[in-house]
Chain A
Amino acid sequence: MNYGVRSMLLRTLAFAIVLEALLVPAVLFWPNFRDNIESLRGLMPFKAAREMLDQFGQAGAAGYVCGQQFFKACNTLGTAAAVLFAAGAVAGEAHRGTMELWLARPVSRKRLLLERWASGALCVVLPVFLTSATVPWLVTFVDEEIALKPMLLCAAHQSSLLLAFYSATFFFSTIGSNPLGIGFGMLMFTIFEFATYLIEKLTHLSIFRLADIPRFIAICTSERLDLAVVLPLLLVSVVFVGASLFAFERRVP
């Protein structure tokens, strides 16, 4: 098997395993959670967390699973994976001195960069869809029922945010040569954004407002994508990919 394909499959598998490993116990914990939601609410130290619990309670198993799979796992680990997969995409080649070899073959830079972007994007997005697709089956173990379609719509919504983070990091990787610095900087930025979400008076300023529990519950209820959010996020990705192509064409190895 081709080295690039093997590397992509391994990363996809690793991220999918991590997401599924978080999802399975979370789903199995649902009956316990449902029965003790009031007690848990009393234990929550700040208002934002209490509101989250309320949202879980109101939306039932679907709201709880969305909170666990998307708001918790994908927004934290998914963002980290997006940043880590993108940080080394081009800067990693410069850092280890292999960029000249990478570019010296008779393959256009545009093609090389788009392939690199697409393989990393698949590593981020595929596990989100794959693990979300297991939800309808997993919830049968706790005597609940969730349809596949709303889960896939939520996965698409979540993926648009992860792709925006991925594409932004990818752009910095295209113009930089220090993957560690790029990854660290972007991780700090996403942690800051997540922390902002948890601050009552600043929460409306956080990017994670675009992928929080009420939004996923609305998607599950309406069974429609929130295009007012998804399209601008996809546009952000397109802009960053375009900027990456422009920068990469002129890059000196």
Chain B
Amino acid sequence: MSQGVSNSAAGTIRVRDLSRRFGSTVALHPTSFEIGPGGVTALLGPNGSGKSTLMRSLVGLVRPDTGVATLDGVELIGDGTQVRKRCTFAPGELNLYKEMRGEEHLAWLLRGREPDSIARAVKMAQDMALPLRARVRAYSHGMKRQLLFCAAMAPRVPIRILDEPSEGLDPSKRGMILDLVERDAAQGSTILLSSHHLGEIDRCSSRMLFMHNGRLVKSEDSSSVRARAARILRLDFGSALGEPARAAAICAELLALGAKGAVVRGRRVVIELATDDPRPLLGAASACPRLPRPEGIEYGQLSLGELYRDVYGVEAV
């Protein structure tokens, strides 16, 4: 059963209380969010956090136990064929039909799409220097990934769901793929992509959804990241932080001067400010004789790695 697309829902992904359990394992706890229209949203989380289950549920490959998902205004019903007509999905699993030739495989992947999508996919694959006349069994891991990516990017659909599209690619190919994702999002597509490469997410996504143990634990957009960054100050004290007792004393002094939090990360102390103006603390610190002279000062930067560490309490790789 299909439904008409209302203007307000065009290009959006709306999820309400979507959940899925496999036997006694809860792969996805009731999850709700809304993204789009347009832009790149990154889905982040450690392995087994439920990213792929969520993506598969959105396109009807896995039937949710509860909840409602609506893509481009069309509710996910039955096996999700109507939803898949409005979006493309590039799976994270990389098993292709090895006996097919590259060009033939693209046509197979694009069954049910508009006919000229094949020509666009072929053009994209040629730009990536994929050997389309060769059989897929001769393809490297990265080539197979690019073939799937081309098939996901070629159709004219408002939504694309890409499960680790750059996994296993060399840096130049990864850059090429990110360029295409950014260009597509700039043209109005809504892209939900998962990745373990924080650098590429930093570069192209406007919003981040963090998942952990099947739950959506945090949602950050670029403005909230900027607001958090405005309260982060880093002081590089060099070798003065090498001795643990000395490092602890410096942190205690900064807290006494009004910092909301202070932790040592390598040569630097990362300070959480109480306000988004660093000047009072910097003034107090420069006047304090018990603090060493900093070798460097950084303000207003929040790396995705820190955000990841914030959410999961572990260092991002």
Can you show 14 pairs from A to B with CB atoms below 8 A apart?
A: A100-B91, A101-B97, A103-B61, A104-B61, A104-B89, A105-B111, A105-B112, A106-B84, A107-B81, A107-B111, A108-B81, A109-B79, A109-B81, A252-B62
Contact with A along B34-54 (1 / 0, CB 8 A): 000000000000000000000
Contact B81 A101 (CB under 8 A): no
Most buried by A among B79, B96, B109: B79
Q: Which residues of A contact B104 (CB under 8 A)?
A: 3
CA distance A105 to B110 in the complex (A): 7
Main DSSP-derived SS at the B contact region: loop
CA distance A101 to B22 in the complex (A): 21
Whether B33 sits at the interface, judged by CB under 8 Å, is: no
CA distance A108 to B81 in the complex (A): 5
CA distance A91 to B84 in the complex (A): 23
Q: Which of B91, B96, B112 contacts A107 (CB 8 A)?
A: B112
Whether A250 sits at the interface, judged by CB under 8 Å, is: yes
Contact A104 B84 (CB under 8 A): yes
Q: Which residues of B contact A105 (CB under 8 A)?
A: 84, 109-112
Besides the known contacts A100-B93, A109-B79, 18 further A-B residue pairs in the complex with CB atoms under 8 A apart: A96-B95, A97-B95, A98-B96, A100-B56, A101-B109, A103-B61, A105-B84, A105-B112, A106-B84, A106-B85, A108-B78, A249-B78, A249-B79, A250-B63, A252-B22, A252-B61, A252-B63, A253-B56
B contact set with A: CB distance below 8 Å: 22, 56, 59, 61-63, 78-79, 81, 84-85, 89, 91, 93, 95-97, 100, 104, 108-113
Q: Which residues of A contact B96 (CB under 8 A)?
A: 98, 101
Closest chain B residue, CB of each to CB of A108:
B81
Main DSSP-derived SS at the A contact region: loop
Give A232-253 interface residues, CB cut-off 8 Å to B: 249-250, 252-253
Closest chain A residue, CB of each to CB of B59:
A104
Q: How far is the CB of A96 from chain B (nearest CB, A)?
A: 6
Q: How far is the CB of A7 from chain B (nearest CB, A)?
A: 9
CA distance A109 to B84 in the complex (A): 12
CA distance A249 to B61 in the complex (A): 10
CA distance A96 to B99 in the complex (A): 12
Given A3-B100, A100-B61, A106:B79 Cβ within 8 A: no
Most buried by B among A3, A105, A109, A252: A105
Q: Which residues of B contact A110 (CB under 8 A)?
A: 79
CA distance A223 to B97 in the complex (A): 46
Contact A98 B95 (CB under 8 A): yes
Q: Which residues of A contact B91 (CB under 8 A)?
A: 100-101, 104
Q: Which of A97, A106, A252 contacts B81 (CB 8 A)?
A: A106
CA distance A236 to B81 in the complex (A): 29
Q: Which of B78, B81, B108, B113 contacts A3 (CB 8 A)?
A: B108
Q: How far is the CB of B197 from chain A (nearest CB, A)?
A: 22
Q: Which residues of B contact A108 (CB under 8 A)?
A: 78-79, 81
Give A84-107 interface residues, CB cut-off 8 Å to B: 96-98, 100-101, 103-107
Q: Which residues of B contact A109 (CB under 8 A)?
A: 79, 81
Closest chain A residue, CB of each to CB of B62:
A252
Closest chain A residue, CB of each to CB of B99:
A3
Q: How far is the CB of B86 from chain A (nearest CB, A)?
A: 8
CA distance A105 to B61 in the complex (A): 10
Contact A98 B97 (CB under 8 A): yes
Closest chain B residue, CB of each to CB of A95:
B95
* Those 6 A-B pairs whose CB atoms lie nearest each other, nearest first: A97-B95, A106-B112, A106-B84, A106-B85, A108-B81, A109-B79
Q: Which residues of B contact A103 (CB under 8 A)?
A: 61, 79
Q: How far is the CB of A106 from chain B (nearest CB, A)?
A: 4
Q: Which residues of A contact B89 (CB under 8 A)?
A: 104
CA distance A103 to B22 in the complex (A): 19
CA distance A107 to B79 in the complex (A): 9
Contact A97 B63 (CB under 8 A): no
Closest chain A residue, CB of each to CB of B63:
A250
Q: Which residues of A contact B63 (CB under 8 A)?
A: 250, 252
Q: How far is the CB of B306 from chain A (nearest CB, A)?
A: 34
Closest chain A residue, CB of each to CB of B113:
A106
Closest chain A residue, CB of each to CB of B104:
A3
